[in-house]
Structure 1
Amino acid sequence: MPLRKSQSAESSAWKLIAWTAFVGLLFGLLQLGEIAEDFLRTARNNLHTHSASGDIVVVGIDEDSLRQVGRWPWPRRQHGQLIDKISAGGAKEIYLDIQVDTRGDPADDAAFAAALRRSGKVTVPVFSRSGPGTEQKVGSLRTNPFLKDARLGSVSLFYNYQNAAWHLPFATRWDGQDVPTFSALMGGKASPSGEAYMLDYSIDPKSVPFVSAGDLLTGKIGLGQFAGKKVIIGAAAEILGDQYFIPGTGKMPGAYVHTIGAETLKRGTPVELGWILPYLAAVAIAAFVALRRIERPRSVIFGAATALFLLAPALLEMNLIFVEVVPALAVTWIVWGILARRSFRTGGLTNAVSGLPNLNALRNNRAGRTQALIAARVLNYDEIAAALPAGQERQLIEQIVSRLRVGSPERVLYQGDGGIFAWFEDSEQPVSNHVEALHVLFRNPARVDGLPIDLSVSFGVELGSSRTLSNRLASALVAADEAAHDGLKWKYHDPETLEDASWKLSMLSQLDDAVDKGEVWVAYQPKLDLQTRRIVGAEALARWTHPEKGPIAASEFIAAAEQHDRIGKLTDFVLESAIKSAAALNRKDPGFGMAVNLSARLLGDKGFVLRLRAMLARHGLAPHLLTLELTETAALAGNGSAFDMLAALRELGVTIAIDDYGTGLSTLDYLKKIPASEIKIDQSFVKGMLDNRSDLVMVQSTIALAHSLERKVVAEGVEDQTVLDALVDMKCDVAQGYVIGRPMSLESLTKRLAGSRRSSVA
């Protein structure tokens, strides 16, 4: 069966390659991609645009020239005057892209012929214009009256649907002889008729020197710019009709087409490789991917091939080597799209290693919505798979699958990455007995090529609900993880954990709204000066009273806000409230300080100092009365920008305190670097210092060290009088804790200060 399946897949791949190769062949032979090819070549030209050499000057008969002379066609003597002036300027060669193959006014013709003889370096044209559905041929070698005084050249060209000439001939056949084109003569390249070359439109036509014929005739410009140059005279006014589309630039006179052709040939002889080589390369790449059934790097290979076909021609064209890539792109993109579609419909629902249906297939199984869902997680799968030799992971999976199918050989198992397996069971069957029995089977080691391998597995069960299969699968996997964490064999999904998860997911967005709605408020915990026994300050603490859930633990919502980088708005709110309250308290009791916790996340906020300065100014609070408390861990982890922020805060005049001191990895060097004026000893040491000698030594040494560095010491977590008395004996500066006062409202703090500022704690 697997062999037959493999043969069928290979046959399908060959059919895909053959059909796509045929389509690409049609693109090339019938030029079906001409429009796309022109667009791509124009886009590539923009990648390496460069200026013309400046050796060829265009003298254009533009609108101003027509107004100056007054009629068209011009009398031949006017052209003769142009030739005389250009010749007098020292031009090397002159090319007249104006029809002069018939006789006109005898006097004008004589004046024109005389100018040709005086110059001796003029080329006059015969030309043909051919495009889609039309051809125009003008001029004859037998009837042209001026050939004895001038050289003959061809201005023949072919224009496409866009009125653009991508190719120019080297020569054209006229009256039995080869006549070289203007571009071939100016570019110095000769070749027999019938051969053409690709124009390099990466040459900027606007960089070609241009002179108005009218300005030249009236003497408005000097003649020195023609010295040693080749000059082409042509119609430039749009009304004269000699206009073509220059790819990447727009409509321009035909003289520019010949000039770009000449500039191309001056760089070298263009080489056209056509579309065959890129097309064959695309077929080979597509066959390599399709026949080998490469899955994971498929997009990388086809993406690289696309980049190659789009960009490599630009490098070739810089050296005048031209290729056509649309047939190759057609092959690449068709095979890529079909394989991707097949992968989505079939391979996208199958595990690439085992051939089992994957978790996407599980999510698409509508019949499973009414059944119990069981998920098994092999906890050490990644570790085992990494240690196995190449090709043996499938054997491991077969061992796992054989055990999970015990008692039900036809069970459909779904496999995910990282050792995840899942299946559906009848919800009316005793799932617990079934899962217990499966767990027992995994006590015996699996064997891969004779090597015993211990498997650690846990199970999660979701009995069924109205939720989507994706959500149910996630719940079953969470239950399996919880079972592994709790040391259990398996576990049911608990719906209450889902409610808790929903609350955690929405908590941060609700927190932002709570700040705006006034559900978040600030409590103040007083600080006691241990020398004067007076309340000298307070710490501002954020509190959240949810309208439905009631008070939310600060440790919960503040930690979540910090973890998800949403702490800024909350901190600004607490700072604004604390500074406003401190300013009000200082109007009655000068010198009252206020402390606010500062998240390490804000040390990189360049606008924080400006906002803080504005708050202090707005409420009229002296900066030294505000203390910003930064956790020791955050301070120690501060990089250069964090230290710069702390220095800026100190320069503002704000007091910096190291909070939770002792819980990090403090060193004397860091204490010297951090511009802190205050150290707060973590409450875990303060609470246990009378019962634990290590904590006592920690508190004593911290006080001594801080005082030696001229830092103030605050002890937090003081909850009984004996600890407070001990801190007084140790010469601690300030204490904070329940024995002094719990966090309270501003109104309660104001009453406390009014009634007991001068009293000591008994």
Structure 2
Amino acid sequence: MSRLFAIPAVPIAISRRLSLALLAIAAIAGLIAGMTGTGEGIERLLRDARFHLRDTDASGEIHIVEVDARSLRAINRWPWDREEHARVLDRLHAAGAGLIAFDVDFSSPSANPSGDLALAAALRRGGGGVVLPTLTQQASNGASEMVDMLPAPMLRDHAVLAAVSMAPDSDGQVREAPLGVVTAGVARPSLSAMVAERAGSAGLHFPIDFAIDPATIPRHSFVDIRDGRFNPATIAGKRVLIGATAVEIGDRYGVPRFGVIPGVVVQALATETLLRGIPVRLGWGWGAAIALALAAAILRIRRRAPLLITIFAAPVLLFAAALTLETTLGAYPALVPGLVIVTTASIIALVRRMLAMLHRRRAQDAETGMPNRFAMRETLHRATPIRIATARIVEFDKLAAGLSPGQVAQLVCRVRDRLGLVAAGHAIHRIEDRLLAWECDVELRDVGNRFEALRAAMLSPVEVEGRRVDVVLAFGAAEDMTGDVVRACANAALAADYAASAGDAWQLHGGSDEGDLSNELSLLGELDDAVANGEIEVAYQPKLDLATDRITSVEALVRWRHPTRGYLRPDLFIPIAEKGGRITGLTLAVLERTIADLEAWAAAGTPVTGAVNLSAKLVASREFMGLVRERIERAGIAPSMLTFEVTESAAMTDPAGAAAALGAFRALGVRISMDDYGTGQSTLSYLKQLPLDELKIDRSFVQFAHTNRGDAVLVRSTVDLAHELGLKVVAEGVEDAPCLAYLRSIGCDMAQGYLISRPVPANALAELLAIQDAQAAA
């Protein structure tokens, strides 16, 4: 994309230093999460998800002889006589079991001493290598004191002891097992460490690998082993755990993935875990390191698609890395701090992109996509002096009235393309709907040559969707020695305005214009305040119906009582309002006041119609049309009580466009009057084309019509012509009785002027109407 069409770079683009600062913010967020243990629940969910993905079978090295429901029914009591355990122990030794461990509490002497002796004898026959459990439990229900439980003394002499106690997490689930435990003052290995033959210090714990499916651990019913109903070959050389799986016994734990399972199965899973190596907890540092690299990448990416892909891929990569570490190295990492870092960086990147997008929209003209006034102020070269050139599209409203909004945007873009021929690569900005501006890189004294070239380029029509549109441009240029872009732009725009008003191709802003500009800008700002604060006044000049000799209508005339300058003439501030884009607000203020006064007079029993003057700039304005419709729909009077007066010159500039615009007002029920008739160049065909209700003959022809034969002919012929067209006629400037008598004689409909009344405030007009009604009643 060339510079001509480019939107300026976003000023909040991230520098290297700011990128590092944002990365530091993400790192701090991860550090806080790691040090405080934030997100433990999420960590557990992620770990459980990895268990599911790593689903694997048990090694087959560990077998469980389970005290199951079938065994309980067969022996039909609990606890069993220890002779039952002795018989199973002998069967397992006879089958060649490699190692036998009990997860059964033998801490209390049994009711049958001979059973204890039988078990002790079986342990002795086994060579003293059988593992018996120690455990720690509460001294009593609800007590905080813990008691160490060891097998009965006669059993300890021919066995090794290992701890079977496991502590659940805060959510009640068992996730880890000890390597060693101190019971009765002695450091002992855990049962899983003893069976797996793994050394470890007391107090150290390891995570149990719940990726191992407990259903794949070989199991044998206790009574089948006792009664010899098994294949000894399946037991030979294996490590056997004996424990309860029957629900009735209650030795069960909640674990991840599998819900509630028997304690002996948990011991078997812990043993299977250690057979593969002692798992390593990596903590959160490793994940934070990888996450910081990913965060740095996220913060460097500028394009939307790669950014979104990276944001979604980063947590997946972290998860995949953790999964790989667990699968290959048996290392169990913490993910949450790393995810916090990546998430923080992602949020920062998305917010930064959103701000950049909002900035681009703010710096972009919505209709054309061109850089706008804001972009010009933000990005223009701050040299001293700075020079700005502007091009104003003359009669823009007229062009816009005949085109759709999309075609208007295309028209502006076509103009921009031609301006680009002499803009020396500088971006063309649309700073108003009809005004384009760019940085000028030549001295002001030489800029005229470029403007002449542009003027020549605009001689050929601009093509818009197959239509050839003639566009006239007025150029302006200004220079500011301090590098103030805003002031240089305003001065250049003013110069283009002056050129358009004077009919020149271009003008340069000079130092002598500063005072006038300052005065206009000051007055324009004060006008804004006056309109906003309701300080604009409306006076009404009556119109006399010559057939009834009654005042039946008024013309609303705007007045501004300035707090320091006194009354200001309309011809002083209305042109400024038109040029400064304030004429819409000013006209609406007059319209609203007029509607309110018409309602008040009608409520008082003295109804009259009222006329409001429309600026040529508002005739074809879609925005103004919509605002007028809103106010008319809210009005408490019929729309026909309102008349819009437009000047002959405004209507004749673009008869077709004016006819369409005025027709829209007419459709609302508003009457249309042509003001100052006779001063322009109206023709009969134009009068037939426009949706008029009334002609107002200019005072320059009316004032001496009763004494000047030429004026008399013009006024009489206008009255006759208007009546033939079905229009009423209002004569302006009636200041003496003979003039009024002449107008009556030729059939003029209404008269307006100082003879009837000067413009008066609303309350004075109400008194005048009341006197008129009183005289009529008398």
Normalised to the residue count of structure 1, the TM-score between the two structures is: 0.47
| Length-normalised TM-score, structure 2 | 0.46
Greater Rg over alpha carbons, structure:
2
